[in-house]
Amino acid sequence: MVRLVDPLGDESLESYAKRLSEHIPKNDEVVLIGVSFGGIIVQEIHKLVNAKKVIIISSVKHCKRLGYSNPNYQYSEQLKLIF
């Protein structure tokens, strides 16, 4: 499991995902699991890390499909990465 790190100011989602991906082992056995906004984050991380599987729970396939903007959901505490 990888613990979330605090976002930096106006950090983009892509930049935040890149910082998180630095804590993930570089092998093909990684399974990324994200709940809610964590599902969006693991999709971004998957662009940077080879994963055996990506599991998205109660989320959308892309952040543009949210349809609303709520700063309370910007960085969910529910991201879990299992490897």
Give the pLDDT confidence of 29-45 residue by residue, as tens digits: 899 998 888 888 999 99
More confident residue, 46 or 73: 46
Residues with Cβ within 8 Å of 45's Cβ and at least 6 positions away in sequence, in order, are 17, 20, 21, 24, 32, 51, 81
Q: Which tokens in the block code for residue 4?
A: 């979330």
DSSP 10: T
DSSP 61: S
pLDDT of residue 6: 86
The model's pTM: 0.68
The Cα diameter of the chain in Å comes to 36
* Interatomic CA distance for residues 54 and 3, integer angstroms: 17
Q: Which tokens in the block code for residue 51?
A: 């994963």
